[in-house]
A and B are shown apart, each in its own frame.
Chain A
Amino acid sequence: MANTENTGKWGMVIDTDRCTGCMACVTACAMENNIPWTGEEEAGYGRGMHWIRVQRLWHGEYPEVKPEFTPTMCQQCGHAPCEPVCPVFATVHSEAEQINLQVYNRCVGTRYCGNNCPYTARTFNFFDHEFPTPMDFYLNPDVTVRRRGVMEKCTFCVQRIHKGQEKARAEGRPVKDGEIVPACAQACPADAIVFGDMSDSESQVSHIARSERRYQLLPELGTEPRVTYLKGGGYYGG
Chain B
Amino acid sequence: MSQKISRRDFLKITGVSSAALAALTGCGPASRFVVRKPYPDMPEYNQTGASTYFATGCRECPAGCGLIVRTQEGRAIKVEGNPDFPVNYGKVCSRGLTAVQGLYNPDRVQGPLKQASRGSSSFEKIDWETAIPIITSALLKNEPSGVAFLMGLAPDHLYDLVAEITQTLGSPPPLRYSALGMFEGRTTLLQAVNNIFHKDSLPFFDLANADYVLSFGANFLETWLSPVRYSRAYGSLRQGIPGRRGYLVSFEPRQSLTSANADEWIPIKPGSEGLVIAALTKLVAEIKGIEGASDHSELDVAQVANTADISLKKLQEIAHAFASADHPLAIPGGQLASHANGLAATQAILALNGMVENLGKKGGLFLIPSTSVASNFSEIQALVSRMSRGEIKALFIHGVNPVFDLPSALGFQEALKNVSLVISFASFPDETALQSDYILPDHTPLESWGYQHVLAGADRPTYSASQPVVVPLYDTHATADVLLTALKESGKVPYQDEVDFLQQKLLPLLQRGGGFYTAPEILTFWSKWLQYGGWWTPTEGLEKPNGSSTPPAPAANVAELQEGQFFFVTYPTLFGDGSGANRPWLQETPDPMTTVMWNSWVEIHPDTARKLGVKDDDVVKISSPAGEIEASVYLYPAIRPDTVAIPFGQGHTALGRWAEGRGCNPLQVLNVQFNEAGDLAFGDTIVSVTPTGRSRKLARFESREGVYGSQH
> Is B one of A's binding partners?
yes
Residues of B with C-beta under 8 A to A189: 88, 91-93, 227-228, 231-232, 235
Q: Does A40 contact B (CB under 8 A)?
A: yes
Interface set, chain A 202-238, CB cutoff 8 A to B: 230, 232-236, 238
Q: Does A5 contact B (CB under 8 A)?
A: no
Q: Does B538 contact A (CB under 8 A)?
A: no
Residues of A with C-beta under 8 A to B592: 20-23, 54, 56, 69
* Number of residue pairs spanning A and B whose beta carbons lie under 8 angstroms apart: 250
* Cα-based distance from A17 to B80 in the complex (angstroms): 24
A37 in contact with B584 (CB, 8 Å): yes
Residue ID in chain B nearest A237 by CB atoms:
B243
Residues of B with C-beta under 8 A to A22: 93-94, 221-222, 227, 231, 257, 592
Residue interface bits A185-207, CB-to-B below 8 A is 1, else 0: 01111111000000000000000
* Cα-based distance from A62 to B642 in the complex (angstroms): 13
A170 in contact with B711 (CB, 8 Å): no
A63 in contact with B265 (CB, 8 Å): yes
Q: Does B561 contact A (CB under 8 A)?
A: no
* Cα-based distance from A71 to B667 in the complex (angstroms): 32
Q: Does A18 contact B (CB under 8 A)?
A: yes
Q: Does B127 contact A (CB under 8 A)?
A: no
A23 in contact with B6 (CB, 8 Å): no
B105 in contact with A56 (CB, 8 Å): no
* Cα-based distance from A21 to B227 in the complex (angstroms): 13
Residue interface bits B67-93, CB-to-A below 8 A is 1, else 0: 000001101111111000000101111
A28 in contact with B97 (CB, 8 Å): yes
| Nearest CB of chain B from residue A98's CB, rounded to whole Å | 22
Interface segment among A81-89, A109-117, A129-137: the answer is: A129-137
A132 in contact with B106 (CB, 8 Å): yes
Selected contact of A56 from candidates B11, B574, B593, CB within 8 Å? B593
Selected contact of B707 from candidates A56, A60, A131, A192, CB within 8 Å? A56
* Cα-based distance from A132 to B584 in the complex (angstroms): 11
Given contact pairs A31-B100, A171-B17, A57 touches B94 in the complex (Cβ within 8 A): no
Given contact pairs A30-B585, A171-B17, A67 touches B260 in the complex (Cβ within 8 A): yes
Residues of B with C-beta under 8 A to A232: 238
Residue interface bits B96-109, CB-to-A below 8 A is 1, else 0: 01101101111000
A contact residues, range: 35 or more
Residues of A with C-beta under 8 A to B21: 163, 167
- Which of A21, A45, A58, A170 has the most CB atoms of chain B within a 10 A radius of its CB? A58
* Cα-based distance from A163 to B88 in the complex (angstroms): 24
A27 in contact with B265 (CB, 8 Å): no
Given contact pairs A15-B239, A24-B93, A131 touches B80 in the complex (Cβ within 8 A): no
A59 in contact with B97 (CB, 8 Å): no
A134 in contact with B97 (CB, 8 Å): no
Residues of B with C-beta under 8 A to A4: none
Residue ID in chain B nearest A235 by CB atoms:
B245
Q: Does B43 contact A (CB under 8 A)?
A: no
Q: Does B500 contact A (CB under 8 A)?
A: no
Selected contact of B104 from candidates A32, A63, A134, A187, CB within 8 Å? A134
B235 in contact with A192 (CB, 8 Å): yes
* Cα-based distance from A18 to B591 in the complex (angstroms): 19
Q: Does B15 contact A (CB under 8 A)?
A: yes
A43 in contact with B245 (CB, 8 Å): no
* Cα-based distance from A179 to B701 in the complex (angstroms): 33
B701 in contact with A48 (CB, 8 Å): yes
Q: Does A3 contact B (CB under 8 A)?
A: no
* Cα-based distance from A67 to B709 in the complex (angstroms): 10
Interface set, chain A 131-187, CB cutoff 8 A to B: 131-145, 147, 163, 166-167, 169-171, 183, 186-187
* Cα-based distance from A15 to B707 in the complex (angstroms): 22
A142 in contact with B13 (CB, 8 Å): yes
Residues of B with C-beta under 8 A to A166: 13, 15, 17
Given contact pairs A27-B586, A166-B13, A187 touches B92 in the complex (Cβ within 8 A): yes
B590 in contact with A17 (CB, 8 Å): no
* Cα-based distance from A191 to B589 in the complex (angstroms): 20
B231 in contact with A190 (CB, 8 Å): yes
Residues of A with C-beta under 8 A to B245: 17, 235-236
Residues of B with C-beta under 8 A to A163: 13, 21
A18 in contact with B100 (CB, 8 Å): no
A37 in contact with B588 (CB, 8 Å): yes
Total count of chain B residues near the partner, CB < 8 A:
93
Residue ID in chain A nearest B76 by CB atoms:
A138
Interface segment among B158-166, B284-292, B597-605: the answer is: B597-605
A133 in contact with B234 (CB, 8 Å): no
A54 in contact with B597 (CB, 8 Å): no
Given contact pairs A37-B585, A170-B17, A187-B97, A58 touches B707 in the complex (Cβ within 8 A): yes
A238 in contact with B242 (CB, 8 Å): yes
B106 in contact with A187 (CB, 8 Å): no
Residues of A with C-beta under 8 A to B267: 62-63
Q: Does B612 contact A (CB under 8 A)?
A: no
Given contact pairs A43-B699, A189-B91, A138 touches B232 in the complex (Cβ within 8 A): no
Given contact pairs A26-B94, A30-B588, A190 touches B235 in the complex (Cβ within 8 A): yes
Q: Does B136 contact A (CB under 8 A)?
A: no
B699 in contact with A44 (CB, 8 Å): yes
| Nearest CB of chain A from residue B78's CB, rounded to whole Å | 6
Q: Does B637 contact A (CB under 8 A)?
A: yes
Residue ID in chain B nearest A42 by CB atoms:
B699
- Which of A15, A38, A65, A144 has the most CB atoms of chain B within a 10 A radius of its CB? A65
Selected contact of A40 from candidates B73, B235, B597, CB within 8 Å? B597
Residue ID in chain A nearest B73 by CB atoms:
A141
Residue ID in chain A nearest B259 by CB atoms:
A66
A23 in contact with B232 (CB, 8 Å): no
* Cα-based distance from A183 to B100 in the complex (angstroms): 15
CB-based closest 8 A-B pairs: A44-B699, A190-B235, A189-B231, A141-B10, A170-B17, A40-B598, A27-B94, A130-B2
Interface positions of B (Cβ within 8 A of A):
1-7, 9-11, 13, 15-17, 21, 72-73, 75-81, 88, 90-94, 97-98, 100-101, 103-106, 221-222, 227-228, 231-232, 234-235, 238-239, 242-245, 255, 257-258, 260-261, 263, 265-267, 473, 574, 584-593, 595, 597-599, 605, 607, 637-638, 641, 662, 697-702, 707-709, 711
| 13 more A-B residue pairs beyond the given contacts A54-B592, A134-B104, with a C-beta to C-beta distance below 8 A | A18-B234, A20-B221, A20-B235, A24-B92, A31-B97, A44-B699, A45-B699, A50-B590, A56-B593, A58-B637, A65-B255, A135-B584, A166-B13
